[in-house]
Protein backbone atom coordinates (compact mmCIF):
# COMPACT_ATOMS: atom_id res chain seq x y z
CA UNK A 1 0.00 0.00 0.00
CA UNK A 2 1.42 3.37 -1.01
CA UNK A 3 1.65 6.34 1.32
CA UNK A 4 1.61 10.09 0.83
CA UNK A 5 2.69 13.13 2.82
CA UNK A 6 -0.18 15.60 3.15
CA UNK A 7 -0.95 18.75 5.08
CA UNK A 8 -4.02 18.37 7.28
CA UNK A 9 -5.77 20.76 9.61
CA UNK A 10 -7.31 19.39 12.80
CA UNK A 11 -9.96 21.64 14.30
CA UNK A 12 -10.86 21.58 17.99
CA UNK A 13 -13.01 23.59 20.30
CA UNK A 14 -11.34 25.28 23.27
CA UNK A 15 -12.46 27.29 26.27
CA UNK A 16 -10.34 30.38 26.95
CA UNK A 17 -9.91 32.05 30.31
CA UNK A 18 -11.17 35.60 30.73
CA UNK A 19 -7.65 36.95 30.13
CA UNK A 20 -7.12 34.76 27.06
CA UNK A 21 -10.48 35.77 25.59
CA UNK A 22 -9.64 39.45 26.07
CA UNK A 23 -6.19 39.06 24.49
CA UNK A 24 -7.56 37.14 21.52
CA UNK A 25 -10.38 39.64 21.03
CA UNK A 26 -7.82 42.46 20.91
CA UNK A 27 -5.77 40.45 18.42
CA UNK A 28 -8.80 39.84 16.21
CA UNK A 29 -9.55 43.57 16.17
CA UNK A 30 -5.97 44.48 15.31
CA UNK A 31 -5.83 41.86 12.54
CA UNK A 32 -9.01 43.25 11.00
CA UNK A 33 -7.78 46.85 11.27
CA UNK A 34 -4.39 46.12 9.70
CA UNK A 35 -6.01 44.21 6.84
CA UNK A 36 -8.44 47.04 6.11
CA UNK A 37 -5.76 49.74 6.32
CA UNK A 38 -3.44 47.84 4.02
CA UNK A 39 -6.27 47.21 1.56
CA UNK A 40 -7.14 50.91 1.58
CA UNK A 41 -3.51 51.87 0.90
CA UNK A 42 -3.24 49.41 -1.98
CA UNK A 43 -6.51 50.59 -3.52
CA UNK A 44 -5.55 54.26 -3.19
CA UNK A 45 -2.08 53.69 -4.69
CA UNK A 46 -3.61 52.07 -7.75
CA UNK A 47 -6.44 54.59 -8.11
CA UNK A 48 -4.22 57.69 -7.87
CA UNK A 49 -0.82 56.53 -9.13
CA UNK A 50 -1.47 53.27 -11.00
CA UNK A 51 1.10 51.75 -8.64
CA UNK A 52 1.16 48.22 -7.26
CA UNK A 53 1.82 47.87 -3.54
CA UNK A 54 3.62 44.67 -2.48
CA UNK A 55 3.63 42.71 0.74
CA UNK A 56 7.00 44.27 1.61
CA UNK A 57 5.49 47.74 1.24
CA UNK A 58 2.58 46.95 3.55
CA UNK A 59 4.93 45.35 6.08
CA UNK A 60 6.94 48.60 6.17
CA UNK A 61 3.67 50.51 6.60
CA UNK A 62 2.79 48.35 9.58
CA UNK A 63 6.08 49.25 11.25
CA UNK A 64 5.32 52.94 10.69
CA UNK A 65 1.76 52.61 12.00
CA UNK A 66 2.98 51.07 15.26
CA UNK A 67 5.17 54.14 15.89
CA UNK A 68 2.24 56.58 15.69
CA UNK A 69 0.38 57.64 18.79
CA UNK A 70 -3.06 56.65 17.50
CA UNK A 71 -2.00 53.14 16.45
CA UNK A 72 0.52 52.34 19.16
CA UNK A 73 -1.84 49.65 20.49
CA UNK A 74 -0.90 47.49 17.47
CA UNK A 75 2.40 46.80 19.23
CA UNK A 76 0.61 45.35 22.26
CA UNK A 77 -0.49 42.17 20.47
CA UNK A 78 1.63 39.52 18.80
CA UNK A 79 3.12 40.79 15.54
CA UNK A 80 2.85 37.42 13.79
CA UNK A 81 -0.95 37.45 13.19
CA UNK A 82 -0.60 41.01 11.84
CA UNK A 83 2.08 39.93 9.38
CA UNK A 84 0.04 36.89 8.43
CA UNK A 85 -3.00 38.99 7.56
CA UNK A 86 -0.79 41.06 5.22
CA UNK A 87 0.32 37.83 3.54
CA UNK A 88 -3.31 36.79 3.19
CA UNK A 89 -4.08 40.13 1.55
CA UNK A 90 -1.18 39.62 -0.86
CA UNK A 91 -2.51 36.17 -1.71
CA UNK A 92 -6.02 37.57 -2.22
CA UNK A 93 -4.68 40.11 -4.72
CA UNK A 94 -2.74 37.35 -6.46
CA UNK A 95 -5.97 35.38 -6.90
CA UNK A 96 -7.72 38.52 -8.12
CA UNK A 97 -5.07 39.34 -10.74
CA UNK A 98 -5.17 35.72 -11.90
CA UNK A 99 -8.94 36.14 -12.34
CA UNK A 100 -9.74 33.34 -9.95
CA UNK A 101 -11.45 35.51 -7.33
CA UNK A 102 -13.13 38.84 -6.77
CA UNK A 103 -11.35 41.99 -5.65
CA UNK A 104 -10.54 41.79 -1.91
CA UNK A 105 -13.16 43.41 0.28
CA UNK A 106 -12.92 45.17 3.63
CA UNK A 107 -13.49 43.08 6.73
CA UNK A 108 -16.56 43.88 8.80
CA UNK A 109 -16.53 43.72 12.58
CA UNK A 110 -19.96 42.06 12.64
CA UNK A 111 -19.99 39.94 9.49
CA UNK A 112 -16.39 38.83 8.97
CA UNK A 113 -14.93 35.78 10.64
CA UNK A 114 -12.85 36.67 13.67
CA UNK A 115 -9.55 34.80 13.41
CA UNK A 116 -5.81 35.09 13.88
CA UNK A 117 -3.05 32.90 12.46
CA UNK A 118 0.10 32.06 14.41
CA UNK A 119 3.23 30.55 12.85
CA UNK A 120 5.95 28.57 14.67
CA UNK A 121 7.63 31.67 16.07
CA UNK A 122 4.45 32.71 17.89
CA UNK A 123 3.46 29.54 19.75
CA UNK A 124 4.98 26.72 21.74
CA UNK A 125 3.93 23.09 21.47
CA UNK A 126 5.01 20.78 24.26
CA UNK A 127 3.50 17.43 25.21
CA UNK A 128 0.13 18.26 23.69
CA UNK A 129 -0.04 21.68 25.32
CA UNK A 130 -0.43 24.75 23.10
CA UNK A 131 0.84 28.10 24.38
CA UNK A 132 0.28 31.20 22.22
CA UNK A 133 2.38 34.36 22.25
CA UNK A 134 1.42 36.99 24.86
CA UNK A 135 -0.35 34.34 26.95
CA UNK A 136 1.06 32.81 30.15
CA UNK A 137 -1.24 29.76 30.17
CA UNK A 138 -1.89 27.06 27.54
CA UNK A 139 -5.25 26.80 25.80
CA UNK A 140 -7.84 24.47 27.33
CA UNK A 141 -8.49 22.41 24.21
CA UNK A 142 -11.21 19.77 24.01
CA UNK A 143 -9.34 16.96 22.26
CA UNK A 144 -12.23 15.33 20.39
CA UNK A 145 -9.72 13.24 18.40
CA UNK A 146 -5.97 12.78 18.78
CA UNK A 147 -3.41 14.37 16.53
CA UNK A 148 -1.30 11.93 14.47
CA UNK A 149 1.54 10.60 16.58
CA UNK A 150 4.83 12.46 16.35
CA UNK A 151 3.60 15.48 14.35
CA UNK A 152 4.63 19.07 15.02
CA UNK A 153 2.16 21.90 14.24
CA UNK A 154 3.38 24.33 11.59
CA UNK A 155 0.53 26.84 11.86
CA UNK A 156 -2.19 27.48 14.43
CA UNK A 157 -5.34 29.44 13.61
CA UNK A 158 -7.60 30.64 16.43
CA UNK A 159 -11.14 31.72 15.58
CA UNK A 160 -14.45 32.65 17.17
CA UNK A 161 -17.74 32.07 15.36
CA UNK A 162 -20.88 34.19 15.50
CA UNK A 163 -22.32 31.92 18.19
CA UNK A 164 -19.43 32.80 20.50
CA UNK A 165 -17.69 29.42 20.23
CA UNK A 166 -13.88 29.33 20.18
CA UNK A 167 -11.93 27.03 17.86
CA UNK A 168 -8.30 26.27 17.19
CA UNK A 169 -7.18 24.75 13.88
CA UNK A 170 -3.80 22.99 13.99
CA UNK A 171 -2.04 22.46 10.65
CA UNK A 172 0.36 19.51 10.50
CA UNK A 173 2.19 17.43 7.93
CA UNK A 174 1.36 13.77 8.26
CA UNK A 175 1.62 10.56 6.27
CA UNK A 176 -1.65 9.11 4.96
CA UNK A 177 -1.98 5.53 3.73
CA UNK A 178 -3.66 5.30 0.34
CA UNK A 179 -6.71 3.06 0.16
CA UNK A 180 -6.30 -0.31 -1.48
CA UNK A 181 -6.79 0.18 -5.25
CA UNK A 182 -10.10 -1.10 -6.60
CA UNK A 183 -11.73 -1.33 -10.01
CA UNK A 184 -14.97 0.21 -8.77
CA UNK A 185 -16.18 3.46 -10.30
CA UNK A 186 -19.37 5.38 -9.58
CA UNK A 187 -21.32 8.19 -11.19
CA UNK A 188 -22.95 10.72 -8.87
CA UNK A 189 -26.02 12.75 -9.82
CA UNK A 190 -26.80 15.59 -7.41
CA UNK A 191 -30.39 16.44 -6.58
CA UNK A 192 -32.74 17.88 -3.97
CA UNK A 193 -35.12 15.05 -3.02
CA UNK A 194 -32.24 12.59 -3.15
CA UNK A 195 -29.07 14.46 -2.26
CA UNK A 196 -27.09 12.14 -4.55
CA UNK A 197 -28.12 9.26 -6.77
CA UNK A 198 -25.42 6.72 -7.59
CA UNK A 199 -25.00 4.84 -10.84
CA UNK A 200 -25.46 1.64 -8.81
CA UNK A 201 -29.11 2.65 -8.35
CA UNK A 202 -28.73 3.73 -4.72
CA UNK A 203 -30.37 6.99 -3.67
CA UNK A 204 -29.18 8.87 -0.59
CA UNK A 205 -31.97 10.97 0.84
CA UNK A 206 -31.38 14.66 1.36
CA UNK A 207 -31.56 15.25 5.15
CA UNK A 208 -32.69 18.88 4.61
CA UNK A 209 -31.18 20.12 7.85
CA UNK A 210 -32.27 23.72 7.32
CA UNK A 211 -35.89 22.76 6.65
CA UNK A 212 -36.05 20.54 9.74
CA UNK A 213 -34.78 23.38 11.93
CA UNK A 214 -36.66 26.18 10.14
CA UNK A 215 -39.32 26.52 12.88
CA UNK A 216 -36.71 26.93 15.62
CA UNK A 217 -34.72 29.37 13.49
CA UNK A 218 -37.80 31.46 12.63
CA UNK A 219 -38.81 31.68 16.29
CA UNK A 220 -35.32 32.86 17.25
CA UNK A 221 -35.33 35.44 14.45
CA UNK A 222 -38.72 36.81 15.53
CA UNK A 223 -37.43 37.16 19.09
CA UNK A 224 -34.38 39.02 17.78
CA UNK A 225 -36.55 41.42 15.77
CA UNK A 226 -38.46 42.44 18.92
CA UNK A 227 -35.35 43.40 20.88
CA UNK A 228 -34.14 47.00 21.08
CA UNK A 229 -31.05 47.71 19.03
CA UNK A 230 -27.91 48.06 21.13
CA UNK A 231 -29.40 46.33 24.18
CA UNK A 232 -27.93 43.37 26.02
CA UNK A 233 -31.08 41.36 25.35
CA UNK A 234 -30.65 41.89 21.62
CA UNK A 235 -27.11 40.52 21.82
CA UNK A 236 -28.43 37.45 23.66
CA UNK A 237 -31.10 36.97 21.01
CA UNK A 238 -28.49 37.35 18.27
CA UNK A 239 -26.43 34.61 19.87
CA UNK A 240 -29.50 32.36 19.93
CA UNK A 241 -30.01 32.88 16.19
CA UNK A 242 -26.30 32.23 15.58
CA UNK A 243 -26.46 29.00 17.58
CA UNK A 244 -29.43 27.84 15.51
CA UNK A 245 -27.48 28.45 12.30
CA UNK A 246 -24.40 26.75 13.77
CA UNK A 247 -26.45 23.71 14.69
CA UNK A 248 -27.67 23.41 11.09
CA UNK A 249 -24.18 23.90 9.63
CA UNK A 250 -22.60 21.38 12.02
CA UNK A 251 -25.15 18.68 11.20
CA UNK A 252 -24.86 19.30 7.48
CA UNK A 253 -21.05 19.17 7.59
CA UNK A 254 -21.07 15.96 9.62
CA UNK A 255 -23.42 14.27 7.13
CA UNK A 256 -21.35 15.36 4.12
CA UNK A 257 -18.11 14.25 5.78
CA UNK A 258 -19.48 10.76 6.33
CA UNK A 259 -20.94 10.55 2.82
CA UNK A 260 -17.77 11.74 1.10
CA UNK A 261 -15.60 9.42 3.19
CA UNK A 262 -17.75 6.47 2.22
CA UNK A 263 -17.69 7.28 -1.51
CA UNK A 264 -13.91 7.74 -1.52
CA UNK A 265 -13.32 4.57 0.48
CA UNK A 266 -15.51 2.37 -1.75
CA UNK A 267 -14.62 3.67 -5.22
CA UNK A 268 -11.43 4.24 -7.18
CA UNK A 269 -13.07 6.73 -9.56
CA UNK A 270 -15.90 9.13 -8.72
CA UNK A 271 -17.55 11.04 -11.55
CA UNK A 272 -19.59 14.17 -10.83
CA UNK A 273 -21.07 17.05 -12.79
CA UNK A 274 -19.39 20.45 -12.91
CA UNK A 275 -22.48 22.28 -11.64
CA UNK A 276 -22.80 26.06 -11.73
CA UNK A 277 -24.02 26.26 -8.14
CA UNK A 278 -23.49 30.02 -7.82
CA UNK A 279 -25.76 30.54 -10.81
CA UNK A 280 -28.39 28.19 -9.42
CA UNK A 281 -28.44 30.15 -6.16
CA UNK A 282 -29.98 33.05 -8.08
CA UNK A 283 -33.05 30.95 -8.91
CA UNK A 284 -36.28 30.13 -7.08
CA UNK A 285 -34.85 27.05 -5.37
CA UNK A 286 -31.88 28.89 -3.91
CA UNK A 287 -32.76 28.01 -0.33
CA UNK A 288 -33.03 24.29 -1.03
CA UNK A 289 -29.84 24.28 -3.13
CA UNK A 290 -27.96 26.12 -0.42
CA UNK A 291 -29.15 23.58 2.14
CA UNK A 292 -27.98 20.70 -0.09
CA UNK A 293 -24.47 22.22 -0.22
CA UNK A 294 -23.28 20.44 -3.37
CA UNK A 295 -20.14 22.59 -3.57
CA UNK A 296 -19.07 21.54 -0.09
CA UNK A 297 -19.58 17.87 -0.97
CA UNK A 298 -17.48 18.27 -4.13
CA UNK A 299 -14.68 19.95 -2.18
CA UNK A 300 -14.64 17.11 0.35
CA UNK A 301 -14.56 14.48 -2.38
CA UNK A 302 -11.67 16.19 -4.16
CA UNK A 303 -9.33 16.64 -1.20
CA UNK A 304 -10.06 13.20 0.24
CA UNK A 305 -9.46 11.60 -3.16
CA UNK A 306 -6.11 13.38 -3.33
CA UNK A 307 -5.20 12.09 0.12
CA UNK A 308 -6.15 8.47 -0.42
CA UNK A 309 -5.08 7.86 -4.01
CA UNK A 310 -8.51 8.09 -5.64
CA UNK A 311 -9.70 10.12 -8.64
CA UNK A 312 -12.57 12.59 -9.00
CA UNK A 313 -13.67 13.52 -12.52
CA UNK A 314 -15.98 16.47 -13.21
CA UNK A 315 -17.74 16.31 -16.57
CA UNK A 316 -19.10 19.21 -18.60
CA UNK A 317 -22.12 20.81 -16.92
CA UNK A 318 -23.94 20.91 -20.30
CA UNK A 319 -23.73 17.17 -20.83
CA UNK A 320 -27.36 15.94 -21.33
CA UNK A 321 -27.21 13.24 -18.68
CA UNK A 322 -30.97 13.19 -18.06
CA UNK A 323 -32.03 13.21 -21.72
CA UNK A 324 -29.84 10.36 -22.99
CA UNK A 325 -30.78 6.70 -22.68
CA UNK A 326 -28.05 4.89 -20.77
CA UNK A 327 -28.92 1.65 -22.60
CA UNK A 328 -28.86 2.68 -26.28
CA UNK A 329 -27.68 6.30 -26.23
CA UNK A 330 -30.76 7.83 -27.86
CA UNK A 331 -31.16 11.49 -26.95
CA UNK A 332 -34.68 12.80 -26.36
CA UNK A 333 -35.56 16.32 -27.41
CA UNK A 334 -36.83 17.47 -23.99
CA UNK A 335 -37.08 16.18 -20.46
CA UNK A 336 -39.17 18.40 -18.11
CA UNK A 337 -38.21 18.35 -14.44
CA UNK A 338 -41.56 16.82 -13.54
CA UNK A 339 -40.76 13.64 -15.47
CA UNK A 340 -39.19 11.23 -12.99
CA UNK A 341 -39.63 7.99 -14.95
CA UNK A 342 -39.56 7.58 -18.71
CA UNK A 343 -39.40 4.88 -21.38
CA UNK A 344 -36.98 4.86 -24.30
CA UNK A 345 -37.78 3.63 -27.80
CA UNK A 346 -35.41 0.71 -27.20
CA UNK A 347 -37.77 -0.55 -24.49
CA UNK A 348 -35.68 0.48 -21.48
CA UNK A 349 -37.59 2.13 -18.61
CA UNK A 350 -35.50 4.63 -16.69
CA UNK A 351 -35.58 6.30 -13.34
CA UNK A 352 -34.52 9.82 -14.27
CA UNK A 353 -31.84 10.20 -11.59
CA UNK A 354 -30.38 6.68 -11.86
CA UNK A 355 -30.20 7.03 -15.65
CA UNK A 356 -28.43 10.38 -15.27
CA UNK A 357 -25.91 8.87 -12.85
CA UNK A 358 -25.17 6.04 -15.29
CA UNK A 359 -24.61 8.52 -18.11
CA UNK A 360 -22.37 10.64 -15.90
CA UNK A 361 -20.25 7.58 -15.11
CA UNK A 362 -19.96 6.61 -18.78
CA UNK A 363 -18.96 10.15 -19.76
CA UNK A 364 -16.38 10.31 -16.99
CA UNK A 365 -14.80 7.01 -17.98
CA UNK A 366 -14.66 8.26 -21.58
CA UNK A 367 -12.85 11.38 -20.38
CA UNK A 368 -10.36 9.16 -18.54
CA UNK A 369 -9.75 7.07 -21.65
CA UNK A 370 -9.37 10.03 -24.00
CA UNK A 371 -7.54 12.41 -21.68
CA UNK A 372 -8.41 15.50 -19.69
CA UNK A 373 -10.24 18.22 -21.49
CA UNK A 374 -12.37 15.90 -23.62
CA UNK A 375 -16.01 16.88 -23.29
CA UNK A 376 -18.86 14.43 -23.83
CA UNK A 377 -20.98 15.00 -26.92
CA UNK A 378 -23.70 17.57 -26.25
CA UNK A 379 -25.98 17.14 -29.28
CA UNK A 380 -26.90 13.87 -30.92
CA UNK A 381 -29.31 13.56 -33.88
CA UNK A 382 -32.71 12.26 -32.84
CA UNK A 383 -33.40 8.50 -33.13
CA UNK A 384 -29.70 7.73 -33.46
CA UNK A 385 -27.40 6.27 -30.82
CA UNK A 386 -24.90 8.69 -29.36
CA UNK A 387 -21.35 8.53 -30.73
CA UNK A 388 -18.58 7.85 -28.26
CA UNK A 389 -16.23 10.78 -27.62
CA UNK A 390 -13.30 8.76 -28.94
CA UNK A 391 -12.54 5.44 -30.59
CA UNK A 392 -10.47 2.61 -29.36
- Which part of the chain is CATH 3.30.420? 181-206+250-392
Q: Which of 23, 210, 273, 291 is catalytic?
A: 273
- Told to judge if 372 belongs to the known catalytic residues of this protein, a careful annotator would answer no
d(CA 27, CA 212): 37
173 is catalytic: no
H runs (alpha helix) in 17-78 = 18-49, 55-66
Q: pLDDT (tens digit, 0 to 9) for every residue of the chain, 392 residues total? A: 577 788 999 999 999 999 999 999 999 999 999 999 999 999 999 989 889 999 999 999 999 999 999 999 999 999 999 999 999 999 999 999 999 999 999 999 888 889 999 999 999 999 889 999 999 999 999 999 999 988 999 999 999 999 999 999 999 999 988 999 999 999 999 999 999 999 999 999 999 999 999 999 999 999 999 999 999 999 999 999 999 999 999 999 999 999 999 999 999 999 999 988 888 888 888 999 999 999 999 999 999 999 999 999 999 888 888 888 988 888 887 888 888 888 888 888 888 899 999 999 999 988 777 765 444 444 343 444 444 444 43
Per-residue CA distances from 277 to 61, 225, 317 (Å): 40, 31, 11
250 is catalytic: no
Please, are residues 311 and 305 in contact by the beta-carbon 8 Å criterion?
Answer: yes
Residue count (the chain): 392
Instruction: Say which of 23, 117, 291, 353 is annotated catalytic.
Output: 353
Q: Would you say the pTM of this structure is higher than 0.75?
A: yes
Provide the CATH topology of domain 181-206+250-392.
Answer: Nucleotidyltransferase; domain 5 (3.30.420)
117, 189, 210, 302: which is the annotated catalytic residue? 189
- How far apart (Å, rounded) are the C-alpha atoms in residues 290 and 94? 28
SS3 314: strand
Backbone angles phi, psi at 99, to 5 degrees: 65, 35
Would you say 106 and 141 are in contact if contact means Cβ atoms under 8 Å apart?
A: no
Amino acid sequence: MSRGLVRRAFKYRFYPTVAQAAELSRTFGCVRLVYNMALEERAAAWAHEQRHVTYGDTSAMLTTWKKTEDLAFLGEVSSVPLQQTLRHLQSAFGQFFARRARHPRFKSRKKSRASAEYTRSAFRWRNGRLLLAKMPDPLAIRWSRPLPEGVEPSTVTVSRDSAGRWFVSILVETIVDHHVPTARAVGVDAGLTALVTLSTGEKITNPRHERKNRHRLARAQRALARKQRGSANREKARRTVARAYARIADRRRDFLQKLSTRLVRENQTIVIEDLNVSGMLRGRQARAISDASWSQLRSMLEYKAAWYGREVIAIDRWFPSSKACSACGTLTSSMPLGVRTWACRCGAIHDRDVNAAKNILAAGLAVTACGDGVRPTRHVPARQPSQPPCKG
